[in-house]
Structure 1
């Protein structure tokens, strides 16, 4: 199962929290030492305030750079964190765990500085940090830890920025893919409409010009041309209706093929079930359910997987479940006996979204017109379930 992609702010907050927790693992032992092993209220207070200030500035710089709000002043913030971390061991003692603070600034180097400057600065810090540890009299294992810890921390900061940007770009790619699918469908419809109507409208224009030329000379010819224009106009109207009918007509099998293909291309795990031969009258309403499900999944949800099930008893059932449900109350719409379409401003009106109520209302109306039933809403376990059924016995 592929993980869903949260919003950028949620990802950034998670990265900041995880980073600060890892830094706490470096500095909390020193505070524990000052508080319980060798109690000293003054030293403990200085250490606690210093750690709190370092964490606050570190978290703010990381958040701002993850959200691409870079500024030249961030270099001063990095320098302030480095100065504070390098001042803690000589002030509070390097033999009680404060030597770990020397590694803390390394994680911010690739976050604040451009890549080339970050590589050069990390290389310098990899040499200076253990050298400073030797001057402070740290044990050999601590010095060795700092020698390897600085480049590892810097690489971890670089990976954090990279992963955040990759996740953000993937989320944007999903939205662009949905928009592209809608645009391509509009272009196809416009092309078909132009191909069918272009010739007919041009012929009508030419017949009207001919009628205008014979208006004073040959009334019989004018009547003939007007008759032809009427015939062409009726034919054009019929052609437009055929285009619209062909555009709206759907096949459940083809819609499920297209749905699974586009969702998999967007990184959502989805397998199309095998669909047996079904009555002609069920294809259009259920095909619309599949089409709207794919569109809304791409546009509005952060789903990682989608399950499609089709079965028959006295009706043909289509059920689509995904893991992109919001924390909202269940939404229900049913056609047939006792059913009514959902209101367009009701809660939960989407496939894991908050603003597609009109889509669900339209589907409920289509299924109700076919004598079937339609339900949609969160399943309570983080999933969103859509179920539509159309009776086997119906008009084609």
Structure 2
């Protein structure tokens, strides 16, 4: 089952929350020692307030950089956190405050550009054992701190990088869906131009000829007007064919195009075998089903695969399209695409069903009779 992927802000808030929970583990020993009486209540309150302030600043800087709101002023915030954390061990290394040395490391590669961040991490890795030794930290603790600085910096960098990569992939998928719709509109515009461009030019030329002979040859004028009527009727018929999708439309071609678009988006999809003996009347409505299904997969799902099946027998032709990563949304949010398809298939005498299958997949099924209904031929 494909997992549900929440909104970017929800993912970012989760990352920030989990990071703060992780960092809190470093400060639990120090706060616990303060709470059980290592110092007075005022000392515990001051320590708790300081930790809360550092974590609040840390969370804000991490959130802003996840949201791509990086500012040069963030370096001041990082410096303030570093000063607070490197000053904290002076309160008592034996009370657990030495763990604070690791806290700023996770923000270094998040706030700073990569090259300055690498230099700062290297400097912190060198200074940490020196400072830890001066503070009187045990040798194993110093080793732990030295190892933890680059690891924490790398972890922070990778976390933010992966978040941004996921966002770029999400945006690329949305752009691909828009491109697919745009290409279909361009195809329709080209077809419409091909149909009407020549016809309207011919009508204009015939009208000029009729105007030229208006006072000299009535028979020629009538001939030209009759030709204009014929061209206009042919143009109307051609435009209707374009709008209804009859021009060069076949179910096999539509399914091939659908699978190619989905594969370009990184979705596993293979075109099915389509019998060349399918009834002519099924190609146009089932082709619309393929187009709309492809758009829905790209726009409204986090699919990794899509399966297409075409079955034909004496009773009719059935197309079934199933994809994983079905979005958790109500039927009312589906837009006009699926209801429009249902109307088209019903007008052709068929049956149409679409909706989540309950196992994380979305299923679209359209079935048309082998014999066209009256008025649909």
Q: TM-score, normalised by structure 1?
A: 0.83
Partner of 2:357: 379
- The yes-or-no answer on 1:76 pairing with 2:76 is yes
Q: 1:357 aligns with which of 324, 328, 335?
A: 335
> What per-residue deviation string (whole Å, max 9, x for no partner) do you get for residues 216-257 of structure 1?
222232222222222222232233233334457753333332
Shift of 1:126: 1.7
The residue that corresponds to 2:27 in the other structure is 27
Matched residue SS, 2:210: helix
Moved over 6 A (4+): 1-4, 36-40
Match of 2:239 in 1: 240
Give the CA deviation at 1:381. 4.2
Distance 1:226 1:286, change over 3 A: closer
Alignment of 1:255 with 2:254, yes or no, is yes
Q: Would the alpha carbon gap of residues 327 and 238 (structure 1) be closer, same or farther in structure 2, given more than 3 Å must change? A: closer
1:302 matched to 2:302? The reply is yes
List alignment gaps of at least 5 residues for structure 1.
329-346
Q: 2:114 matched to 1:136?
A: no
Equivalence for 1:348: 331
- Contact 1:255–1:290 (8 Å) recurs in 2: yes
Alignment of 1:10-49 (within 5 A): 10-35=10-35, 43-49=43-49
SS of structure 1 residue aligned to 2:103: helix
Q: Is the 8 A contact 1:103 1:146 kept in 2?
A: yes
- Determine the C-alpha separation between the residues in 1 that align with 2:165 and 2:73: 26
Q: Deviations over 1:313-345 (max 9, x none)?
A: 7554433333443444xxxxxxxxxxxxxxxxx
d(CA) in 2 for partners of 1:364 and 1:106?
Answer: 57
| Pair 1:300–1:138, CA change in 2 (3 A) | same
Are the counterparts in 2 of residues 90 and 136 from structure 1 also a CA contact under 8 Å?
A: yes
Q: Which residue of 2 aligns with 1:164?
A: 163
Structure 2 length as normaliser, TM-score? 0.86
Cα separation, 1, equivalents of 2:366 and 2:284: 12
Task: Decide whether aligned partners of structure 1 residues 252 and 232 sit closer, same or farther in structure 2, where only a CA change above 3 A counts.
Answer: closer
Residue in 2 that maps onto 1:123? 122
